[in-house]
Amino acid sequence: MPDQGLDMPASKLRGAALATVTDLATGQFAERMRLDAAKRVIVMVRRVGVLHDLGQMQAPPQGWLSQIAHNWDPQAVTAREYVELLPTSDADRILTEATAWARGVQPIPAAANEDHRIARAAGA
């Protein structure tokens, strides 16, 4: 059975449940989800950059979203903290631009990945 977040000690389950109930009751749930989505986009953009460096993806689309993701210093703050520090308009723009950015991401076909791996191993 897939993990539904129910297999945890009662105290942790209670804390998680009450945090979400509180967010819902105070109208903060949507904001938390918006920030979580923006955080996930920032992390995904950085991961695609790493995959490109490893020869697994073509060069990712460049532009504002790539620059915002590049500006995040994961040694200094978490992705969530980074997004929370951005102006609200930037967090919204991350979500707005994510779809078009993702459409421009192209994996390298498996055969080309193998050729790239062999070339890297050979020092080329």
3-state secondary structure of 14: helix
Where do the structural domains in the chain lie, given as residue ranges?
Answer: 33-121
Name the least confident of 3-7, 24-28, 86-90, 115-119: 115-119
CA 88 to chain centre: 17
More confident residue, 50 or 119: 50
- State the pTM of this model: 0.76
- For residue 119, pLDDT over 80 is answered with no
pLDDT-derived band at 109 (thresholds 50, 70, 90) equals confident
For range 78-89, the mean pLDDT: 96
Phi-psi region of 76 (alpha: psi -120 to 50; beta: other; left: phi over 0): alpha
Q: What is the DSSP letter of 57?
A: B
